Structure 1
């Protein structure tokens, strides 16, 4: 199924315009997610929108936006009034300026999107804008409206398309001073720095995101598969926290010795395990019946599939 665009409109650089579509570059859909259920019935929990005073459920058509100005005092703002505030950036990404990529503080980055031509027309104009940005080795700064709010977007070439990254406004970024003021000024000796540098050199390598593994996601998948198969889940002992305070120099020396004993990064064999895009391929096939939640005996290796508890008479809504 083709991905759905979050936004469609036009990309404009002065008088050069082309229709474009904006797609999210990341997704959390493949991660394991949970629903809240009633422990007694196994049914899913639903939430109703109710009046805070009367407790009565409110129909969707009767719900409007309101800005709180005082206790129990709100200024009602209708959808039509919000639509009247529509900006040009609602339908057009206007490139305002070009800046060096290094000028953009990483704290201002929100999330990436892919920007592509929309339809069969406008590919020439899109290519002109893309190659202009590429040739200048800069980032184009524009504005776009998503979810009824205007955002700053930074555009840079990525292969045949453009990657757009939403940026925060200055008022959204907290100053580091209120957090860093209490950090003590410590004199770091050259010997300590030399030892730390040696540790870093031993651990240095290339950035290869395909080798990253989400250990928590893998543990969740293993837990779900075991519970589905009726395997008893043993409680783990709580990890030990804290430890004895040791000499920093001694700790650096021990760390370096440990790294020297380990296999050098260059000699480590590359992982041959096929990368799995999400958890769906790793989860066991769903039998269509609810597995027993209570502890049960271990299943012998050659035994048949564990017997499932009969499905509840009422399905979760």
Structure 2
């Protein structure tokens, strides 16, 4: 059963409009989640808001939003005052312009959504917009209001539908210079770079997310299963960290040698199987 649409509205390109529905393309539902419980009763705990100065529990009617102007000094903002800055939800994703996909800095990519036509009435217009974007190999930049905030959203053809990805605003990104300025610039030999590049070539493959294995999630599920069955959980001893003092060229050569040693048994196995086949015939 398909999940309920997160947002419904219209997609508009100039004078062409079609009804659409937007669905989150990712989910956290399959991840293992824990609740806080009382170790004495086994009952689930609930959180309470506590005044950090008095230590007393604050009831619901005395809770409000406050913006910290300076340390310990707040300006209180009422809910109806927040309504004054709410962005009017037009329920329309209006395309502003089109850009090459490679022009979008990956740091700006936020949350992905699947966009589909909402009903058969606007399917023709949806397909026209999708196929025109596919032909021109362009990504559409538009605006959409989600949870009372306006977001820039990038739209691109994806299978039979569209993939919409909300984008971060520039103020949400940290300046890379704050982190990269202190990176040293040592002189490394061309031989080292060539060897490293060769290692990259030997490990080249196609992007295949089916190979992604969440080892922690798998181990977590196994731990919960063992604990629920009444088995004892033994914590392994921490392994000693290897020394970081290495000879870079030697490490590169060993890395290449390790790759070759992994490949050789597979070739021998195939040759052996062919030989056995001929003998059996």
For 2:279, the equivalent position in structure 1 comes to none
| Matched position secondary structure for 1:263 | helix
Q: State the alpha-carbon separation in 2 of the partners of residues 104 and 77 from structure 1.
A: 38
Q: 1:133 to 1:119 in 2, by over 3 A?
A: same
Change (3 A) 1:4 1:264: farther
Aligned residues: 266
SS of 2:263 mapped into structure 1: coil
Given that 1:98 and 1:138 are in contact with CA atoms closer than 8 Å, whether structure 2 keeps it comes out as yes
Kindly indicate whether the alpha-carbon contact (under 8 Å) linking 1:69 and 1:75 is maintained by their aligned counterparts in 2: no
Report SS of the residue matched to 1:230.
coil
Structure 2: gaps (5+ residues)? 270-281
Distance 2:89 2:106 in 1: 24
Equivalents in 1 of 2:198, 2:263: separation in Å? 15
The two structures, once aligned, show a CA RMSD in angstroms of: 2.3
1:26 is matched with: 26
Give the whole-Å Cα distance in 1 for the aligned partners of 2:63 and 2:119.
37
- TM-score scaled to structure 1, two decimals? 0.77
Structure 1 partner of 2:273: none
2:104 alignment partner in structure 1: 104
| 1:138-194 Cα shifts (integer Å, max 9, x gaps) | 100001111211111000001111100010111111111111111111222121112
Question: Cα–Cα, structure 1 residues 87 and 12, in superposed 2: closer, same or farther, change >3 Å?
Answer: farther
Q: Does the 8 Å CA contact 1:115/1:161 hold for their aligned counterparts?
A: yes
Change (3 A) 1:63 1:17: farther
**Alignment correspondent of 2:156:** 156
* Corresponding residue number in structure 2 for 1:248: 248
Q: CA deviation at 1:19?
A: 1.4
SS at match of 2:124: helix
Give yes or no for contact 1:9–1:91 (8 Å, CA) kept in 2.
yes
1:234 aligns with 2:219: no
Any residues of structure 2 matched to 1:82-121 within 5 Å, and which? 82-87=82-87, 90-121=90-121
Cα drift, residue 88 of structure 1: 5.2
Q: Which residue of 2 aligns with 1:275?
A: none
- Asked if structure 2 preserves the Cα contact closer than 8 Å seen for 1:202 and 1:264, the reply is no
SS in 2 for 1:207: coil
Structure 1 unpaired stretches of 5+: 270-317
Instruction: Pick closer, same or farther for the CA change 1:73–1:191 going to 2, 3 Å.
Output: closer
